[in-house]
Amino acid sequence: MKIIKRRRAKSLTNYRKRIAMLKGRLPRVVIRRSNRSITAQIIDYKPDGDVVMASAVSTELKNMGWLPKSNIPTAYLTGMLLAKKASEKGIKGSMILDIGLHKPIKGNVIFSAAKGCKDNGIDLVSEIEADDDRISGKHIAEYAKMGSKKGTSEFSLYEKSKLNVKELDKLFEGVKGKITITK
């Protein structure tokens, strides 16, 4: 009982939400965001403990030519990558979205990753709202085209990697094409 109280006191787990999800007996698509990466997993409940069936981390996108950051386009591509890995492992069926303690805000990183999962073949039981222009990174490219007013570039990480931020939406489409499952 101490563990439960401790996890709730530290705001790590909302047990009411967790029990409600587990009653559905569906695997969960768990999406978490940190300052530097996005992690997406398909987790199934077992009495001995949860089992991770498939997992994708945004840092894996670096091998495909995408600079992993913790933004909306990266979240979408990470969700697509999770769906591709699940398909390769034969994981099918309905799943439920687990956003943890994040607030459900339309168009945020969590729902962008969920939309990526759904667009690449995962059957998610969830209302997913995300804007396609923001998912493709068009808003970032437009901001970069306006230029920086501070004198230093907010996109120095992209510039060090020799990526043209002003054409981020085109790069996004190329990486998306590599991940998309062909039916």
The more confidently predicted of residues 82 and 150 is 82
DSSP string, the chain: -HHHHHHHHTT---HHHHHHHHHTT--EEEEEE-SS-EEEEEEE--TT--EEEEEEEGGGGGGGT----SSHHHHHHHHHHHHHHHHHTT--SEEEEE-TTS---TTSHHHHHHHHHHHTT-EEES-----HHHHTTHHHHHHHHH--SSSS-TTHHHHHTT--GGGHHHHHHHHHHHHPPP-
pLDDT (tens digit per residue) in 103-115 = 777 778 999 999 9
Could you tell me the pTM of the whole model?
Answer: 0.85
At residue 61 the predicted structure's pLDDT band, cuts being 50, 70 and 90, is very high
User: What domains are there in the chain, each with its CATH number?
Assistant: 24-179 (3.30.420.100)
pLDDT at 12 over 70: no
At residue 169 the predicted structure's pLDDT band, cuts being 50, 70 and 90, is confident
pLDDT at 31 over 80: yes
